[in-house]
Amino acid sequence: MATLLQIKSSLNGDDGQSSYLSNQFVKRWRQNNPDGRIIVRDLAANPVPHLNAERFNAFLTPADKRNSTEQEIVDYSDELIAELKAADIVTIGLPMYNFGIPSTLKAYFDHIARSGITFRYTSNGSEGLLPSIPVYVLAARGGIYAGTQADSQTGYMQTFLGFLGLKDSHFIYAEGIAMGAEGKEQALSGAQQEIDQAFAA
């Protein structure tokens, strides 16, 4: 049975445009996988704590030396990683906030990047330890940034995902959604077409 992991990072939850596109992706996937399993990680409804010294040090502490608080922190991180490892495909709803990714998504990333578990360093550099499953990023933006220096998201996402071994990443953009009703409609319609094409391939 195929499993899809859906990650929503809009602060508006399902009312956000990136969540809308992500939900459309999931709906299309469900048509092809009627018996498939869907795991939803909504970072607005259930935000991941931001990384601090306590949480970071818990990751570094050997299992036999952790206290109960440290173990709870590691268990939580392990749960997030287990969801990712269980998935055959991932979709990430990605809004742009002040030219960057949502802080909640960065917090999530900080909890799944674990040395020796999802990546490691070798004499040849870093090596991702996760299997390379498809990751579809549904990026919703108020302006038009793809392919410009103002797009700090795409390169960062590709670098981070690849760092963990997730090198099969695909980006679908809905841009200009704050530039009038007509522009918003065209952006969402174009993204929907790309979603449909992804499943038609």
Which pTM does this prediction carry? 0.95
Whole-number Å distance between alpha carbons of 113 and 157: 13
Q: Are strands 135-141 and 125-128 parallel, antiparallel or unpaired?
A: unpaired
Distance, in Å, from the CA atom of 134 to the CA atom of 91, rounded to the nearest integer, reads 8
- pLDDT tens for each residue of the chain, 201 residues long: 899 999 999 999 999 999 999 999 999 999 999 999 999 999 999 999 999 999 999 999 999 999 999 999 999 999 999 999 999 999 999 999 999 999 999 999 999 999 999 999 999 999 999 999 999 999 999 999 999 999 999 999 999 999 999 999 999 999 999 999 998 999 999 999 999 999 986
| CATH superfamily of domain region 3-200 | Flavodoxin domain (3.40.50.360)
Structural domain boundaries in the chain: 3-200
Identify the pLDDT of residue 201.
67
Type of residue numbered 18 = S
Q: What torsion do the CA atoms of 77, 132, 169, 155 make, to the nearest 10 degrees? A: 70
pLDDT at res. 198: 94
- Residue 19: phi, psi to the nearest 5? -70, -40
